[in-house]
Amino acid sequence: MSSNNNRLSPRQKMINLMYIVLTAMLALNVSSDVLDGFTQVEDGLTRSNGNVEQRNSAILTTLRDFSQQNPDKGEAWYRKALEVRNATENIYALVDSFKKEIVIKADGANGDVDNIQSRDDLEAASVIMLSPTNRGGEKLRGAIDDYRNFIASLMPDSVRRNSVETALSTQPLRKDGSLGESSWEEMNFDNKPVVAAVTLLTKLQSDIRYAEGEVLTSILDNVDAHDVRVNELNAFVIPQSRLVMRGGKYQANIVMAAVDTTQRPVVFINGHQLDNDRGLFETPASSVGTFDYSGYIEVPRGDGSMTRQDFTSSYTVIEPSATVSATMMNVLYAGIDNPMSISVPGVSPGSVTATMTNGTLTRNGDKWIARPAKVGEEATVTVTAEIDGRRQEVASTKFRVRKLPDPSPFIPFKDSKGNTDRYKGGRPLAKTLLLQSPGIEAAIDDELLNISFKVLSFETVFFDSMGNAIPEVSDGANFSQRQKDSFRRLQRGKRFYISRVKAVGPDGITRELAPLEVIVN
């Protein structure tokens, strides 16, 4: 659409405003199933964070006990562990504060992180984390960087150190469809629903607890506290992944700290002994939800008796999901190529296929091109992916198919520097530039769509000294000779109108465009 709407009628302005509001409403259409999935993931991560915190507290207790038994050897390491715990609690509380701010922004002063009402609100996270006044994301990124550097400085083991640095990385990344890199905070909080932003922050807290556990374990290794471990036995559940896609497998290693390598522990889960001596627990993930399980580990003592340690854990199974979005907006336009992004988390692009009703959908490298056929009929994009050796449908998304908006007519001309410009009315145009122009053109150039239309015909309307209208017909898209002769007779400050402009776009629809007023300088 033309960027200059000073001459638009009130009715046309209202139509344009309704178009903008509709586009915003379509962009805010977030599936309730996806929001429910984020809620389930948030609950699972919260429980897992509690389990990890208990494990880290147990390590800290072990270091405290060792410090009391052998102050000369253990007290310095225990003080370092306390510094780690204090730094962890501070950044953990900072993340909690941002979660609360986002929820309050979305739900009001009584907003509750554990009971989010406006889960699909797309503005709250951006306002709190990205707005120039709050700059919450920048503050959080700086705090993460400081915490990561502090933690890494206490870890001589390069493998553990690299693992922690990767988990807490805040490096900028390139967003799909963008030319440049986006900051860490933009990637995580730009245009994210409240429930997604809170889940991402809870996942960050999970990474923080993981980093704390790694450095506490490293400190414990440095004081050679194996003799303390054998007196402080604890059972641990180490899942390969806390989130499982339906159709996959949940895997976890059940281990006990300071187990004698010559004695393999016996693991029982829900009353049944594992069928391997590696503590590997596998179970099919056939339905969606959060599943708790418990058991115990038995280890023989030197006197022949058994030591038993109980444990509990949980895992979350989510529905397979896919990301299907139109690059330009949440609608598709008939007659043109609509770039789309289609991806399935955890699945390589080569294992993802997609089809579309009411048109064609073709792959173009890592991107997709949708070309709808009929205006007014929905187009459904269905995505399938190969998961664990078998193909299954992971998403089905519907899009509205609309005709292209009306373009704006304009007179092309070249300025004094030879640059091509467009005259759309509202200001005087030199007669010499008018006479040099071959005719008129039409296009959509609203910075979202940039599409040219073919002008079929138009009229110019002049007024004589008596106020009588004198119409002249064009030569297709070009000014006719009679029109050019009328231009030459125009005096400075006079004006005429270009009306009855007929143009056809790539969707094949012929339309009559709004008149254009030309003021001659």
- When pLDDT is cut at 50, 70 and 90, the band that residue 202 belongs to is confident
Minimum mean pLDDT among 16-25, 96-105, 332-341: which range? Answer: 16-25
Query: What are the pLDDT digits (tens) for 430-451?
Result: 999 999 999 999 998 766 678 8
Query: What are the pLDDT digits (tens) for 289-308?
Result: 778 889 998 877 654 567 78
Q: Which of 12-21, 48-57, 226-235 is modeled with the greatest confidence?
A: 48-57
- Mean predicted confidence (pLDDT) in 482-499: 90
Q: Which residues are paired to 281 by β-bridges?
A: 252
- Mean predicted confidence (pLDDT) in 45-73: 85
Query: What's the confidence (pLDDT) of residue 2?
Result: 42
Query: What are the pLDDT digits (tens) for 126-152?
Result: 888 888 888 888 999 999 999 999 999
Q: Which DSSP category does 233 fall into?
A: -
Query: What's the confidence (pLDDT) of residue 521?
Result: 85
Same fold, 233-319 and 321-402: yes
Q: Write the CATH number of the domain with boundaries 233-319.
A: 2.60.40.10
- When pLDDT is cut at 50, 70 and 90, the band that residue 351 belongs to is confident
Was domain 321-402 assigned CATH 3.30.710.10?
Answer: no
**pLDDT score of 230 more than 50:** no
CA angle 307, 312, 316 (to 5 degrees): 150
Tokens of 396: 């089905």
Helical (H) or strand (E) element with 397: strand 390-402
**pLDDT score of 14 more than 50:** yes
**pLDDT score of 453 more than 90:** yes
Query: What are the pLDDT digits (tens) for 242-286?
Result: 556 666 676 777 776 565 555 678 899 988 898 887 778 888 888
Query: What's the confidence (pLDDT) of residue 22?
Result: 45
Query: What's the confidence (pLDDT) of residue 179?
Result: 65
Query: What's the confidence (pLDDT) of residue 23?
Result: 43
Q: Which DSSP category does 480 fall into?
A: P
Identify whether the C-beta of residue 203 lies closer than 8 Å to the C-beta of residue 213. no
Distance in angstroms (rounded) separating the CA atoms of residues 98 and 113? 10
The type of residue at 254 is: I
**pLDDT score of 17 more than 70:** no
Distance in angstroms (rounded) separating the CA atoms of residues 344 and 354? 11
The answer for 156, left when phi > 0, alpha when psi is -120 to 50, beta otherwise, is alpha
Q: Are strands 516-520 and 428-429 parallel, antiparallel or unpaired?
A: parallel
Q: What is the pTM of this model?
A: 0.40
- Mean predicted confidence (pLDDT) in 54-65: 90
Query: What's the confidence (pLDDT) of residue 133?
Result: 85
Count of beta carbons in the 10 Å neighbourhood of residue 444: 20
- 21 vs 427, more confident: 427
Q: Could you state, in order of their start, the residue ranges of all structural domains in the chain? A: 31-230, 233-319, 321-402, 405-520
Residue appearing with tokens 């659409």: 1
- 245 vs 467, more confident: 467
Arithmetic mean of pLDDT over the chain: 81
- Mean predicted confidence (pLDDT) in 409-413: 92
CA angle 104, 106, 112 (to 5 degrees): 45
Helical (H) or strand (E) element with 520: strand 516-520
Distance in angstroms (rounded) separating the CA atoms of residues 495 and 413? 18
